């Protein structure tokens, strides 16, 4: 099954139902206006444990609750219940492989009014297989996009608004058509923001830097994990600050991080090699570490994972 093909059962409007029977009206408010918020959660299969682990599920639902507050939506359940429903969805589908869960809190009512209130907020959960080759983890070639991030004063990026992904979609297509793997987007005033669905970290000399949460990014959960692992395992200084475009062109190491890409080295930006043009050693070490943590092959940070089947040592 390819990425995006749903497993047989989904959670739609308060019940688990066969995906074929789940229905969202063509006149649902969110279909026309992108009104709603979503998350993406990784589930990692460990064949030795015969266990599937949700990675940072609670953190994702805490973020969804904050997004809902910004948008003025009422989630039907709190984060703990949503983690429980997510595990149940994967169990019902008998998932025993890497997977990706898509929670959606959207305006599903048949309402063509452009507004955020009274549009029938509904929760949906679906899961799809997560392929190994989603991104080339050996390193990607990036370009700085002509498409910029929207300002927080226009669309709140931190609320992960469904409709706000048209900009990143344009940037991704532009990058691929121009022969790159991924786009890095700037803020309206020309500072580095993030890639289309992942955050950016760079190392220059001893110091790591990543655009601040106030630079129109989605402050990723993986970004927090990577900053933490860098500090814990290398003792490195990691700054959250404004990052110039020219720093992308002159840094010694760069990486993308996010739920889908996990940790991916950047080897080139706009034709300039990052460092010596090979994946950075620290990047590869953090990549290995996070991959191991996500399957509990590594004792560090078991609090970041939740067993789905409950068979493993917690
Ligand atoms: C725009 C954007 N930035 C960054 C990220 C990475 O966030 P996370 O690590 O929470 O998946 C995502 C993924 O959801 C995203 O869509």
DSSP symbols for 201-247: EEEETTEEEE--TTTT----HHHHHHHHHHHHHH--EEEES--BHHH
The rounded distance, in Å, linking the Cα atoms of 218 and 83 is 21
Average pLDDT value for residue range 37-65 = 98
Q: Over the stretch 132-160, which tens digit does the pLDDT of each residue have? A: 889 898 999 999 999 999 999 999 999 99
> What average pLDDT does the chain have?
96
Question: Is 211 in contact with 201 (CB distance < 8 Å)?
Answer: no
How many alpha carbons fall within 13 Å on the CB side of residue 57? 29
- Does ligand 1 come within 6 angstroms of the Cβ of 93? no
Choose the residue to mutate in 63, 161, 197 for probing ligand 1, maximizing ligand atoms within 8 Å of C-beta. 197
- Does ligand 1 come within 6 angstroms of the Cβ of 221? yes
Atom of ligand 1 nearest to the CA of 199: 4
Specify the pTM.
0.97
CA of 60 to the centre of ligand 1 (A): 10
CB neighbour list of residue 108: distance below 8 Å, 6 or more residues apart: 13, 24, 25, 28, 29, 30, 119, 120, 121, 122
CA of 221 to the centre of ligand 1 (A): 7
Q: What pLDDT sits at residue 1? A: 82
The rounded distance, in Å, linking the Cα atoms of 121 and 259 is 25
The rounded distance, in Å, linking the Cα atoms of 55 and 64 is 15
Helix (H) / strand (E) containing 63: helix 57-71
Count of C-beta atoms within a 10 Å radius of residue 14:
10
* Residue with CA at minimum distance from ligand 1 atom 7: 220
DSSP 5: P
Count of C-beta atoms within a 10 Å radius of residue 214:
13
The rounded distance, in Å, linking the Cα atoms of 259 and 270 is 25
- Does ligand 1 come within 6 angstroms of the Cβ of 197? yes
* Residue with CA at minimum distance from ligand 1 atom 5: 198
- Does ligand 1 come within 6 angstroms of the Cβ of 224? no
CA of 48 to the centre of ligand 1 (A): 29
Atom of ligand 1 nearest to the CA of 40: 14
Band of pLDDT at residue 311, cut at 50, 70 and 90 = low
Atom of ligand 1 nearest to the CA of 218: 3
Domains and CATH numbers, the chain: 9-129 (3.30.470.10), 140-294 (3.20.10.10)
Band of pLDDT at residue 313, cut at 50, 70 and 90 = very low
Band of pLDDT at residue 237, cut at 50, 70 and 90 = very high
Q: Over the stretch 78-131, which tens digit does the pLDDT of each residue have? A: 999 999 999 999 999 999 999 999 999 999 999 999 999 999 999 999 999 999
∠87-88-91 over CA atoms, to 5°?
Answer: 90
Q: What pLDDT sits at residue 312? A: 43
The rounded distance, in Å, linking the Cα atoms of 23 and 159 is 25
């Amino acid at each position: 099954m390819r990425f995006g093909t749903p497993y047989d059962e989904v959670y739609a409007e308060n019940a688990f139902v066969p995906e074929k029977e789940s229905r969202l009206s063509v006149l649902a408010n969110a279909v026309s206006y992108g009104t709603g918020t979503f998350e993406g959660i990784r589930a990692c299969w460990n064949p030795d444990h015969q266990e599937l682990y949700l990675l940072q599920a609670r953190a994702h639902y805490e973020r969804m609750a904050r997004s809902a507050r910004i948008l003025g939506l009422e989630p039907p359940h709190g984060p703990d219940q949503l983690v429980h429903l997510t595990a149940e969805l994967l169990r019902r589908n008998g998932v025993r492989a890497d997977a990706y869960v898509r929670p959606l809190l959207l305006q599903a009512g048949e309402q063509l009014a452009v507004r955020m209130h009274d549009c029938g907020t509904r929760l949906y959960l679906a899961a799809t297989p997560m392929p190994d080759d989603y991104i080339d983890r050996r390193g990607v070639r990036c370009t700085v996009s002509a498409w910029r991030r929207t300002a927080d004063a226009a669309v709140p990026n931190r609320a992960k608004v469904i409709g706000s992904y048209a900009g990143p979609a344009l940037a991704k297509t532009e990058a691929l058509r121009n022969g790159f793997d991924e786009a890095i987007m700037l803020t309206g005033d020309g500072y580095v923001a993030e890639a289309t669905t992942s955050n950016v970290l760079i190392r220059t000399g001893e110091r790591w830097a990543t655009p601040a949460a106030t630079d129109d990014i989605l402050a990723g959960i993986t970004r927090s994990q990577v900053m933490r692992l860098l500090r814990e395992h290398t003792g490195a200084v990691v700054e959250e600050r404004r990052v110039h475009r020219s720093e992308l062109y002159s840094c010694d190491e760069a990486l993308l991080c996010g739920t889908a890409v996990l940790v991916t080295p950047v080897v080139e930006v706009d034709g300039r090699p990052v460092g010596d043009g090979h994946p950075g050693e620290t990047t590869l070490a953090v990549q290995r570490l996070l991959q191991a943590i996500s399957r509990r092959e590594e004792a560090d940070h078991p609090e970041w994972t939740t067993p789905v089947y409950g068979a493993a040592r917690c």
